[in-house]
């Protein structure tokens, strides 16, 4: 474990490298607390990619998993995007390939492929429109009813969004392991232990879990929800890293994690040492081929043009 003195030295070294490289550090809500603390911006994957595109930084260090850094590289195509940990991949994003999406679309002529931003660049490139967990319902409602909908790669988000939008959806059989293995009985137990707590569940959870929640919310929605509630306690059904930004933003309220399943080991790989190494040596650079980037940008831009409900 890094000593406190070594931690201070590492943070100072990272700050100096940021200044000299004209770099910014983006940290996802699920990253370790120390990584969130040194990040210039903390948020969800798409919001951070948009920060990358808006920034005038020459180097972008994306502390998250691979698909997130890819999206940043697509939206900030003229900048150097680095991911500190090359092994930090998203299992769900790799449960679909571009070729598999093309094959499924051929089986459903006239269909519209809606792809969750938690996907690889090559899958986005085969899609008609992207969505986030915050706007998936709005995106599905925006599609003319005469078109069948294919939703990839998260079957749980697709099922939830389809139900809320009143649309039939062909679901890809992909899932986020951290959310997929949460059990309804764990939520019931947490509610018994904390009877005054409201339940916030991410729509990547199975429907039986979402149905026990007081609100189904994206991570950005979870950050705002306590402001709109008189409750002082919340059961948070998403990756355990989310408790840190919630407690920082709402210090007078309590937040509980109901399940040991709510842990993404790949999100926890990033360290101060790996961030420093990335800034020193430009590793690991995230590159998306120009053709894939061009095609993937189209469904992302279409998503951003959809009005929110």
Flag whether 297 is in a domain.
no
Which of 158, 175, 192 marks a domain boundary?
175
Flag whether 72 is in a domain.
yes
Report, as an integer, the average pLDDT of 32-53: 94
Report, as an integer, the average pLDDT of 246-261: 98
Predicted local distance difference test score (pLDDT) of residue 59:
97
Tell me the pLDDT band of 5, cut-offs 50, 70 and 90: low
Which of 175, 193, 228 marks a domain boundary?
175
Q: Is the pLDDT of residue 236 over 70?
A: yes
Flag whether 308 is in a domain.
no
Helix ranges (H only) for the chain are: 4-21, 33-38, 45-54, 66-75, 98-107, 121-125, 136-141, 155-165, 177-180, 184-193, 207-210, 219-224, 243-249, 272-281, 290-304
Q: Is the pLDDT of residue 273 over 80?
A: yes
Specify the number of domains making up the chain.
3
Flag whether 293 is in a domain.
no
Please compute Rg for the chain using Cα positions. Answer: 19
Report which of 101, 112, 107 is spatially closest to residue 148, judged by C-alpha positions.
Answer: 112
Residue 108 burial (10 A CB sphere; 0-12, 13-18, 19+): middle
Which of 123, 147, 175 marks a domain boundary?
175
Predicted local distance difference test score (pLDDT) of residue 45:
87
Asked if 234 and 198 count as a contact pair (C-beta separation under 8 A), the reply is yes
Predicted local distance difference test score (pLDDT) of residue 55:
93
Report, as an integer, the average pLDDT of 19-39: 98
Q: Is the pLDDT of residue 1 over 60?
A: no
Calculate ∠ Cα 259-265-270, nearest 5°.
Answer: 135
* Average pLDDT taken over every residue of the chain: 96
113: CATH: 3.40.50.10800
Give residue 233's domain range: 178-263
Flag whether 83 is in a domain.
yes
Say if residue 102 is in the same domain as residue 66.
Answer: no
- Residue pLDDT, tens place only, 202-224: 999 999 999 999 999 999 999 99
Say if residue 242 is in the same domain as residue 273.
Answer: no
Flag whether 154 is in a domain.
yes
């Amino acid at each position: 474990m890094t000593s406190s003195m070594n931690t201070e030295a590492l943070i100072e070294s990272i700050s100096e490298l940021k200044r000299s490289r004209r770099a910014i550090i983006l940290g996802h809500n699920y990253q370790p607390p120390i990584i969130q603390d040194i990040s210039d911006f903390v948020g969800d994957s798409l919001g951070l990619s948009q920060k990358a595109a808006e920034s005038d930084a020459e180097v972008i260090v994306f502390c998250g998993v691979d698909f997130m850094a890819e999206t940043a590289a697509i939206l900030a195509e003229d900048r150097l995007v680095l991911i500190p940990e090359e092994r930090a991949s998203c299992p769900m994003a790799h449960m679909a390939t571009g070729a598999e999406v093309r094959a499924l679309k051929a089986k459903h002529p006239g269909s519209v492929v809606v792809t969750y931003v938690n996907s690889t660049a090559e899958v986005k490139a085969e899609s008609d429109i992207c969505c986030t967990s915050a706007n998936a319902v709005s995106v599905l409602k925006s599609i003319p009813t005469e078109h069948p909908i294919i939703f990839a790669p998260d079957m749980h988000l697709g099922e939830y969004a389809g139900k809320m939008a009143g649309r039939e959806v062909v679901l890809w059989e992909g899932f986020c392991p951290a959310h997929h293995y949460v059990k309804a009985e764990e939520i019931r137990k947490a509610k018994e232990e904390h009877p005054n707590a409201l339940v916030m569940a991410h729509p990547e959870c199975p429907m039986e879990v979402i149905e026990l929640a007081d609100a189904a919310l994206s991570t950005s929605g979870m950050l705002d929800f306590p402001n709109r509630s008189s409750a002082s306690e919340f059961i948070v059904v998403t990756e355990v890293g989310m408790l840190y930004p919630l407690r920082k933003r709402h210090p007078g309220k309590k937040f509980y994690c109901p399940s040991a399943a709510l842990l993404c080991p790949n999100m926890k790989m990033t360290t101060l040492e790996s961030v420093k190494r990335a800034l020193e040596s430009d590793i690991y650079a995230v590159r998306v081929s120009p053709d894939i980037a061009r095609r993937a940008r189209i469904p992302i831009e279409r998503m951003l043009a959809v009005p929110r409900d």
